[in-house]
Amino acid sequence: QVQLVESGGGLVQPGESLRLSCTAASGAISSVSAVGWFRQAPGKEREFVATINWSINSTYCADSVKDRFTISGDSAKNTVYLQMNKLRLEDTAVYYCAGRRSGWGTMVAQYEFWGQGTQVTVSS
């Protein structure tokens, strides 16, 4: 099993940028089929943000972020990144990365192992 650890969260103002990292603390991150980013705001359900599929070298982002966020991976660094630009108040949430052994998708239930999350707060 790959243990995932998120980092890079923080407090920013609207319009600013952050880059989140998801690093495999154990195992090779490229050994999983896909790594996804999800987020959960207070009082809301966890929602899909973006995913990367190593085997077909493809990425997919939710419509709500696709013009502002980019997911990428660096297998040599055992890390998947989420570059977040033009952050909005509504992007405030705990951001989680998750992995799955086969396939890829946008549903929380499809991902088998999760990191602990990193807080992103956008506030003026």
The 10s digit of each residue's pLDDT in 18-35 is 999 999 988 888 888 899
Pinpoint the alpha helices (H) of the chain: none
pLDDT digits (tens, 9 = 90+) for 100-121: 998 889 999 999 999 999 999 9
pLDDT digits (tens, 9 = 90+) for 74-93: 988 999 999 999 999 999 99
Task: At 45, give phi and psi (nearest 5°).
Answer: -75, 155
Region 68-73: what's the mean pLDDT?
Answer: 97
How far from 20 is each of 59, 102, 109, 120, CA to CA, in Å? 16, 23, 22, 9
Q: Are 86 and 70 in contact (CB under 8 A)?
A: no
Q: Are 19 and 6 in contact (CB under 8 A)?
A: no
